[in-house]
Each structure stands twice: as C-alpha cells, then as structure tokens.
C-alpha cells in the first residue's frame, strides 16, 4: 500500500525469508561460516538454534545460495513426519527413484545409500537440512542419527543440519538422545540483534527495496523499535512495516518515535510490553524527551 508513496520497488519489511534481504550481522556471519565449515569439512552433524524470529530460516535459505553446484541438498520444512515419511521426503528432495513396491525402510535406505555413493563418486557432497527440528519426534531423531552411518571408510556421505528453537537444545540433552547429541560437532545459537545492529538492519532492508534515501527513521524512533522488538528481526519487520503504514496515512516521510508508538499500539500489547515491561517503557520514553 505504501510502496509507491515512499518510492520503494517492493515492500522492505515483508516477513518471508528472502535471501536478498538477509542482513549479515556479525553473529549471522559467524553462524553462516560455521555452517559452511561444517559442511565443507564433512563434520556430519550441525545444529543451529535460536528464538522465534531470529533468522534461522533465512539463514538456511542463504546457506543454500552459498553451497554451489558441488553440493546436492535436500530441504525439509515439515518435521511432523514419521520415520518412513521422512525417508520418503529426503529421497524425493534428492530426486532418488525407489523401486516399485511397498516403500519399506530398507528399500528407502538402500536407494538413498546408492544415490549418496554415486554422488560421492562424482566428487559431490550431499547435505540434508531440516527446519523447525524441535518438532521432530524422538523416533525420527533416532532415524536421522542412523542416516549419519551412511559413510565410506574415510568420511560421511551425508551432512545433516538441524535448525530449531531453543527447545531443540533441551531435547538433545535427554539421555535417550545421547548418542545423537555426542555426534554433533558444530553448534551455534542465534541471539537477537544488538542495539548497534538494528539501525544497520533497517537501512539494509530499505536499500534492497530501493528506498534507503526516501524515508528517515529518527534516532528516537530507532530506540523504540529496538525496545519494542527486543532486537528480534521478525518483530522489527512487523513493527517497521506498520510504522511505515502509519507514516503513509499521515502523509509523512519521517518516522518519528510517535509513529513507532502508534505502530506498536496497533500491533497489540505483545509489542507494547515486548521489552522490559511497562516500567521499562516509561523509563525509555522519559529518556527520549
């Protein structure tokens, strides 16, 4: 609605995980480097965790753009699968054909292993990425552990990356998942953006959308965005999107602290009290005036 008013080529704060809008903060860059290192060095298991909206899915999409043609990838978005369904989905993602007949676990594993061996012989790597892995059942996680046994005498045939919320870390500590947890060599936990990165994040998205110089967030507005969003990228996007809509309705091209407060009120109490509670909000507002 407001893109033409501000002269944007597209919405700068949409919520879809578009790699073009990926802001490479220092921690996201470190996480991406950990992923590339773990895959290239064939470490087997990698786990990336982080709170809701901290950029795990976008990081996953960005990783896929960095792997290149020498890596075959399978991306699983729906973790609510049985162990058989997971194997079927993995084979489908890799383009593996399974012999006709009932899709037994043995047949599925044999077909996958044949593919991985041929892939390895051609000088390629294979990586399995599973998003929202905190929803995987213990049985399916055990199946994933067994997939790491697909190997040559020298190295793993399949690199496995699990992306999940903090609950995944707690799940992996369970005694029943000890064997899997001990195989995880590379781990990284994504945190919300720091105050120093929020301004850069907003400016980056405005630039990609073609409107960096067409709208201005005041320093006080940025402080409130940081407070209400707690530095969580998804919340920053929702808040800035609503703030631009408020500015548009008021025929303004400067986003002030008042504009951000109106946007937070529109989004509801979860945003208004998203930082340190009402007393923290009062203290912040007092410091801005």
pLDDT by residue (tens digit) across 86-143?
999 999 999 998 877 777 898 999 999 999 999 999 999 999 999 999 999 999 999 9
Reference 128, options 148, 108, 142; nearest CA is: 148
Report the chain's terminal Cα–Cα distance, integer Å.
Answer: 32
Q: Note the pLDDT of residue 214.
A: 84
3-state secondary structure of 184: strand
Most confident of 21-30, 211-220, 274-283: 21-30
Confidence bin at 209 (pLDDT 50/70/90): very high
Q: Which CATH number among 3.30.70.20, 1.10.10.10, 1.10.8.60, 1.25.50.10 corresponds to the domain 3-8+194-288?
A: 1.10.8.60
More confident residue, 15 or 256: 256
| 180-194 tens-digit pLDDT | 999 998 999 999 999
pLDDT digits (tens, 9 = 90+) for 13-51: 998 888 889 999 999 999 999 999 999 998 889 999 999
Work out the mean pLDDT of the chain and round it to a whole number.
Answer: 89
Reduced to 3 states (helix: H, G, I; strand: E, B; else coil), residue 126 is strand
The contacts of residue 173 (CB under 8 Å, 6+ apart) are 181
Query: Superfamily assignment of 26-190 in CATH?
Result: P-loop containing nucleotide triphosphate hydrolases (3.40.50.300)
Q: Is the pLDDT of residue 266 over 60?
A: yes
Helix (H) / strand (E) element for 77: namely none
Residue carrying the six token digits 């407001």? 2
Sign, CA torsion 109/110/115/121: positive
Vertex 31 angle, CA 26 and 36, to 5° = 125
The answer for residues whose C-beta is within 8 angstroms of residue 150's C-beta and 6 or more apart is 109, 112, 113, 116, 156, 157, 158
Domain with CATH 3.40.50.300 in the chain: 26-190
Q: What predicted TM-score, i.e. pTM, was given to this entire model?
A: 0.87
Residues of the chain with CATH 1.10.8.60: 3-8+194-288
Among candidate residues 182, 165, 274, the one with its CA nearest the CA of residue 229: 274
Axis crossing angle, helix 138-147 with helix 83-94, rounded to the nearest 10? 40
Query: Which pLDDT tens digit goes with each residue over 219-233?
Result: 999 999 999 999 999
Rounded Cα gap, residues 197 and 23, in angstroms: 9
pLDDT of res. 275 = 52
Four-CA torsion 229, 232, 236, 239, nearest 10 degrees = -40
The whole-number pLDDT of residue 44 equals 87
pLDDT of 278: 47
CA distance 58 to 50: 12
CB 46 within 8 A of CB 161: yes
């Amino acid at each position: 609605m407001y893109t033409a008013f501000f002269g944007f080529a597209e919405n700068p704060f949409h919520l879809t995980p578009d790699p073009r809008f990926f802001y490479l903060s220092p921690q996201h860059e470190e996480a991406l480097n950990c992923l590339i290192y773990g895959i290239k060095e064939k470490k087997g298991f990698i786990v990336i965790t982080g709170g809701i909206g901290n950029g795990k899915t976008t990081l996953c999409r960005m990783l896929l753009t960095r792997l290149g043609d020498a890596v075959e990838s399978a991306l699983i978005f729906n973790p609510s699968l049985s162990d058989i369904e997971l194997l079927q989905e993995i084979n489908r993602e890799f383009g593996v054909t399974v012999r006709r007949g009932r899709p037994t676990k043995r047949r599925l594993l044999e077909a996958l292993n044949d593919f991985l061996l041929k892939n390895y012989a051609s000088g390629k790597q294979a990586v399995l990425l599973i998003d929202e892995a905190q929803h995987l059942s213990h049985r399916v996680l055990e199946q994933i552990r067994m997939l790491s046994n697909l190997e040559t005498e020298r190295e793993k045939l399949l690199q496995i990356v699990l992306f999940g919320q903090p609950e995944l870390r707690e799940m992996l500590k369970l005694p029943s998942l000890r064997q899997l947890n001990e195989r995880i060599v590379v781990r990284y936990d994504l945190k919300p953006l720091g105050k120093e990165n929020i301004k850069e994040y907003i400016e980056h998205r405005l630039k990609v959308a073609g409107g960096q110089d067409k709208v201005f967030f005041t320093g006080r507005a940025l402080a409130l965005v940081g407070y209400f969003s707690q530095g969580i990228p998804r919340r920053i996007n929702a808040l800035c999107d609503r703030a631009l809509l408020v500015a548009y309705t008021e025929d303004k091209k400067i986003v002030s602290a008042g504009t951000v407060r109106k946007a937070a009120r529109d989004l509801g109490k979860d945003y208004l009290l998203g930082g340190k509670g009402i007393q923290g909000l009062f203290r912040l507002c007092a410091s801005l005036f």
